[in-house]
Amino acid sequence: MKIHIKVISLLNKAILYLRSGVWIKGRLYRYKMSGLKSNLLSLDKDFINSKISFKGDNNILLSSGNIYDCTIRVEGDDNKVIIGKDCIVRCKEIWVRGSGCEIVIGENTHLMGHSIFVCQGIQNYIHIGKDCLFSTNVQIWNSDTHTILNSEGEVINSCKPIVIGDHVWLGQNVSVLKGVSIGEYSIMGMSSVVTKSIPEHSIAAGNPAKRIGDCYDWNINFVMKTSLKLNM
């Protein structure tokens, strides 16, 4: 009798587990999805411990990368989220709200934990190039999310797009604000707040971020040795 009860318990657990996942290309993924009826979803690779929420019509999410521990929210109509081949997305939240907005992430880009990407407005966008590396707690906002009015009732804080070029490295706690472009092969130092555009091949740091040097190239490998000798 005890063995029979244990078998039933295990079967119930298996059923609950299967109901909490989705089969995609022969693999079982943990998920929570809503609002798929009038929207398009295509996931080619891992989608694990993540959530997708659509509110609206004709929205598109296409991913050829790997998504882990991420919440993706799309609200409105005709919006797009496109994640390129071999990307690794571990950010906390990707949020698109508006009409005709899009977030495009180039191939082989790595987005690390607890980061937030917000795209809001009408035909507004965030474009991120290929081979980029974003550290933890990165914030990218192309909108203030709430309107500010002048004395005549006019909106004075309109949404503006963000463009980040290929092979850009954003350090921990970097914030990139609306209307900014960051040129390719650039590095933004830890805790920088990027409020104005930065040219290609730059090292920038500070609040607000300012160009402090040149960057010919950088690579994703960890530093394993020092090139300096210390006098003890």
| C-beta neighbour count of 85 within 10 angstroms | 14
Tokens of 8: 């039933």
User: Which amino acid makes up residue 195?
Assistant: T
pTM of the complete model: 0.82
Six-digit token string for 154: 């006019």
Interacting residues of 224 by C-beta distance below 8 A, sequence separation 6+: none
Q: What is the pLDDT of residues 68-118, one digit of tens each?
A: 999 999 999 999 999 999 999 998 999 999 999 999 999 999 999 899 999
Q: Tell me if the domain spanning 29-214 has CATH number 2.160.10.10.
A: yes
Q: Is the dihedral of CA 219, 162, 96, 174 positive or negative?
A: positive
Comparing 113-127, 141-155, 211-225, which segment has the lowest mean pLDDT?
Answer: 211-225
The beta-strand segments (E) located in 100-174 are 102-105, 110-111, 116-122, 125-128, 133-134, 139-141, 162-164, 169-170
- Distance, in Å, from the CA atom of 212 to the CA atom of 2, rounded to the nearest integer, reads 71
Distance, in Å, from the CA atom of 167 to the CA atom of 9, rounded to the nearest integer, reads 51
Please state the domain extents for the chain.
29-214
**How far apart are alpha carbons 83 and 71 in whole angstroms?**
14
Nearest-angstrom CA–CA distance, 208 and 108: 28
Q: Which of 228, 220, 22, 232 is CA-nearest to residue 109?
A: 220
**What pLDDT, on the 0 to 100 scale, is given for residue 218?**
86
Per residue in 36-62, pLDDT (tens digit) is: 678 888 888 888 888 888 999 999 999
On the question of pLDDT at 28 being above 50, the answer is no
Question: Which structure tokens are listed for 11?
Answer: 């079967």
pLDDT at 32: 59
**Residues 6+ positions from 44 with CB-CB distance below 8 Å:** 25, 63, 64
